[in-house]
Amino acid sequence: MKKFSLIAILFLSVLLLQNCTKDTVTATAASNTLFFADINDTTWTADTVNAAVTYTSAAKTKVFTCTAVALNKEVNMSVTLPGAANTNGFTIGTYNVDATSNVVMSYYTEQKNQSGNYVLTPQGTVSPGSGSVVISAVDSVKKVMTGTFSLTSEKNNYDSNGNIVSVNIAVISSGAFNNMPYTFKSN
């Protein structure tokens, strides 16, 4: 009888532990989405993405540019490497918006212009320290790039006397591009 009770207790313990394990499993997901971000706490996925790496021999610079568009929103980034070599890859690293023009980021939204047409217009500016691009992987043979980005764009609104009456802030966080294809051009 003791053996039966011991086996029953072990069996119940295994069932209990199995159920506990199911409750505590952490799910991880890999995204195959090409380009996405959280814009003001709402997930946004680009439906059109254009990325390029351009080498300019006269200036010895290499520039990575990317434009992503969807749902009347546009995210742009440009990273310039001075003194770069003429190769079709790009240097892995963290690039921050600073006082130079080496890293430029912008966020556009659709607005009605004076003619009554809807056009994409800048949603303020990204100040030094308010944006970064992290390039974490580059395959220069397949010409694909992976990385993350974030930015905060600010736009001051003025009254007729030039006083600031409000500030629009757009926070683009948790941005990522996954195996994003790019073109290479050398001139």
Query: What 3-state DSSP class applies to 17?
Result: helix
Of the chain, the percentage scoring pLDDT greater than 90 comes to 82
**Residue 50 above 90 pLDDT?**
yes
Report the distance separating Cα 139 and Cα 157, nearest Å. Answer: 43
* Strand ranges of the sheet holding 144-158, from the earlier edge strand across to the other edge: 42-45, 35-39, 164-181, 144-158, 131-139, 93-96
- Binned at pLDDT 50, 70 and 90, residue 33 comes out as confident
Whole-number pLDDT of residue 127: 95
User: pTM above the 0.85 mark?
Assistant: no
C-alpha span between 177 and 187 (Å, rounded): 26
- Position 8 pLDDT exceeds 80: no
Handedness of CA 149, 96, 146, 57 (dihedral sign): positive
- Enter the DSSP assignment of 51: E
Answer yes or no: is pLDDT of 26 > 80: no
